[in-house]
Amino acid sequence: MSLSVTTWYLEQTSPADASPAQEPPAEQGVRIARAEVPSPEFSRFLYTAVGGDITWTDRLTWPYTQWAEFLGQPGVETWVAYERGTPAGFIELTGAADGSVEISYFGLLPAFRGRRIGGYLLAYGIERAWDLAERWPGRAPTKRVWVHTCSLDGPHAMANYQRRGFRLYETTVDEEPETAAPGPWPGAGPLTTSDPAGE
């Protein structure tokens, strides 16, 4: 079985394109910090926990060494949002030598969606994409920030990117094998509305 998947490519070409987002209420205790020490274990946790119910599968087969090699590249950064000390989501930046920075992954764990964290984390991550060269000596200043999202991603992803100032520049449609959402671990499923952790 195959599935028709639409992929949208969006970009910003100036820091002035970025639109800020309102911070979550102070009582939520949300903070954002960079995971400066490359950790395949932590990055794989974030990848599976965020992408388990929206069919992120590309990296599930990566061995430890591939994770370590990727995370150790100059210009690769992982910024993590925490709510009262608990990881709520992340944004991963991949800087290229030509001055372009890709938002390679961005999202929230299911229990933290709808809590005004996503827009704030995305806006913060975009700022870090534009000033990425300041943290990597010898790297060219950022000239472009880009991202792609697809019809398999969360239903609000496209609108969130556009609210933060991204402009659509290309759309593709491809046939891909139909796969079930893997979940963050075998047997895990999405939270139900009756789950108090999802309120």
Distance of CA 155 to the CA centre of its chain: 14
Q: Please indicate, yes or no, if residue 155 is contained in any of the structural domains.
A: yes
Q: How many domains does the chain have?
A: 1
pLDDT of residue 195: 34
Cα-based torsion angle of the residue sequence 81, 79, 68, 60 in order, rounded to the nearest 10 degrees: 50
pLDDT of residue 185: 61
Q: Which domain holds residue 150?
A: 2-169
Q: Please indicate, yes or no, if residue 192 is contained in any of the structural domains.
A: no
Q: Please indicate, yes or no, if residue 194 is contained in any of the structural domains.
A: no
Q: Please indicate, yes or no, if residue 114 is contained in any of the structural domains.
A: yes
Which residues in the chain come in under a pLDDT of 70? 179-199
Q: Please indicate, yes or no, if residue 187 is contained in any of the structural domains.
A: no
pLDDT one-digit tens code per residue, 47-70: 999 998 888 889 999 999 999 999
| Angle at which helices 64-71 and 40-51 cross, to 10° | 100
pLDDT of residue 77: 98
pLDDT of residue 69: 98
Q: Please indicate, yes or no, if residue 189 is contained in any of the structural domains.
A: no
Rounded to whole angstroms, how far apart are CA atoms 23 and 116?
7
Q: Please indicate, yes or no, if residue 29 is contained in any of the structural domains.
A: yes
Q: Please, what is the end-to-end C-alpha distance for the chain in angstroms?
A: 36
Whole-Å CA distances, 121 to 71, 73, 78, 106, 176: 20, 23, 12, 9, 30
Q: Please indicate, yes or no, if residue 183 is contained in any of the structural domains.
A: no
What CATH number is attached to the domain comprising 135?
A: 3.40.630.30
pLDDT of residue 198: 36
Rounded to whole angstroms, how far apart are CA atoms 170 and 146?
11
pLDDT of residue 76: 98
Alpha-carbon dihedral sign for residues 26, 28, 32, 35:
positive
This prediction has a pTM of 0.89
